[in-house]
Amino acid sequence: MKSLLLSSALAAGMYIAVAAGTASHAQAADLTLCWAAWDPANALVELSKDFEAKSGNKMHYEFVPWPNFADRMLNELNSGGKLCDLLIGDSQWIGGAAENKQYVKLNDFFDKEGIKMDDFIPATVVGYAEWPKNSPNYWAMPAFGDVVGWTYRKDWFSRPELQAEFKKKYSRDLAVPKSWDELIDIARFFQGREIDGKKVYGAAIYTERGSEGVTMGAMNALYSYGFEYQNPKKPYELDGFVNSPDAVAGLEEYKKLYDCCTPPGHSDAYMTQDVDAYKSGQVALQMNFTFTWPGINADANVGGDKSGYFPNPAGPKGVQFAQLGGQGISVVAASDKQQEALDYIKWFSQPEIQQKWWKLGGYSALRAVVEDPSFASSQPYAKPFLDSMAIVKDFWAEPAYASLLQASQKRFHDYVVANQGSAKNALDGLVKDWQGVFEDDGKY
């Protein structure tokens, strides 16, 4: 799943329309690729110049700011519009797009061209390409791997005086946390501390109510504490899984982190707000999707050796999962240029193109790239990215995902941020909400 909200700070270049490439021939086509407006999209424009030169087709781009991306693209799909020939859509759209026949099913194409889903990170195939989940029915090819992880002030952690004080208090080294309890200890240690003459805080986390932020944040604690979306043996059986004692403890843990250790006014924060808090030197820890890591690494204030990266930590029983982000690339069924769009996917699937994609700032999901011996040392965040992608779970990808998400947003925000009721009440209420959605959707 990926964000439905991203402010203009990360969505620079809110709308981009690019037509490039000099090659031409009689059968050349103009193709439009639709995605969100963010740095990876700009990298894809650069990468795609190779496709234009080799194919003779001309690429155009509709890049929409994250706050408007879902509404704009889902309206386009639902209306049968012909704007997009190719769409890099969010993972949670797969169910609706497949069942409503808005994406082209790619199985025959993959078989013909020798494109094997086994060649991609397994979690990205399940998350971005398959519907129904865990079935060999493919509606996209993994395009951009992403997952929630953590950034930390490595330079602060390494200060001898802070190391000594932390070890005296907690009887362990100030280091990357292995568990959520350790993470909260670290956040508490930095909360309200003065560093270099400036008051700092523990952690910037997701709390946003309007789209998906607090859900994308809280799930990282819930997963690692043992939350399940449903009975693994009986689909859509929710009671006792969504609201299990372990799930309740996970939601309580997330609220504990919010209450103790966030910056002032951090009650409606998502990706941009977390990046801003971290880059401005306000916090020791930042929760965010890994697409932010290249920008952190390159930042003049906190980049280079000043920052480190680590996967979402484990819960008390050693369970460790993280919220999946990222997208797959699909051919839009309403397009009149499906063959040329398929040609683009064939080109994009090539290992040498995927390697260039990584170098330009795209997170390739191709195993030939990420399992190359040189990958882990290619960037300081490369290995933490791999480790994070190995522990992912995703939100519902059901056609009714929007209603499911609205329910979790309200329940989680009311409890975590607005301090209403208990974690048990929140999750019991969420069970009822989700059961109602599935009943309306004919699942019972």
In the DSSP assignment, the letter for residue 41 is H
158: how many CB neighbours lie within 10 A of its CB? Answer: 14
- Reference 181, options 144, 211, 225; nearest CA is 225
Cβ–Cβ < 8 Å for 140, 125: no
How many structural domains compose the chain? 2
- CA gap 338, 97 in Å, rounded: 16
Do both 108 and 167 map to the same domain?
A: no
Do both 283 and 426 map to the same domain?
A: yes
Do both 366 and 431 map to the same domain?
A: no
Do both 299 and 335 map to the same domain?
A: no
> How does residue 1 score in pLDDT terms, banded at 50, 70 and 90?
low
Specify if 8 maps to a domain.
no
442: how many CB neighbours lie within 10 A of its CB? Answer: 7
270: how many CB neighbours lie within 10 A of its CB? Answer: 28
Read off the pLDDT of each residue in 161-177 and give the average, rounded to a whole number: 98
Residue with tokens 């769409």: 87
In the DSSP assignment, the letter for residue 128 is I
Specify if 10 maps to a domain.
no
Read off the pLDDT of each residue in 136-145 and give the average, rounded to a whole number: 98
Do both 209 and 352 map to the same domain?
A: no
Specify if 17 maps to a domain.
no
Specify if 296 maps to a domain.
yes
- CA gap 68, 48 in Å, rounded: 24
Do both 385 and 300 map to the same domain?
A: no
Specify if 24 maps to a domain.
no
Q: Give the per-residue pLDDT at 28.
A: 82
Read off the pLDDT of each residue in 165-185 and give the average, rounded to a whole number: 98
- 123: domain CATH number is 3.40.190.10
Cβ–Cβ < 8 Å for 223, 283: no
In the DSSP assignment, the letter for residue 267 is S
Which residue range forms the structural domain that includes residue 116? 30-146+325-393
Read off the pLDDT of each residue in 220-244 and give the average, rounded to a whole number: 98
Specify if 315 maps to a domain.
yes
- CA gap 110, 199 in Å, rounded: 55
Residue 376: pLDDT over 50: yes
Query: pTM for this one?
Result: 0.92
Do both 189 and 272 map to the same domain?
A: yes
Do both 141 and 152 map to the same domain?
A: no
Specify if 9 maps to a domain.
no
Q: Give the per-residue pLDDT at 5.
A: 38
pLDDT tens for residues 247-279? 999 999 999 999 999 999 999 999 999 999 999
Specify if 202 maps to a domain.
yes
Region of 270 please: left (phi>0), alpha (psi -120 to 50) or beta.
beta
Do both 81 and 212 map to the same domain?
A: no
- CA gap 419, 442 in Å, rounded: 34
Do both 73 and 221 map to the same domain?
A: no
Do both 267 and 229 map to the same domain?
A: yes
> How does residue 66 score in pLDDT terms, banded at 50, 70 and 90?
confident
- CA gap 326, 225 in Å, rounded: 23
Do both 100 and 234 map to the same domain?
A: no
Read off the pLDDT of each residue in 358-383 and give the average, rounded to a whole number: 96
What are the C-alpha distances in Å from 214 to residues 5, 221, 254? 12, 11, 10
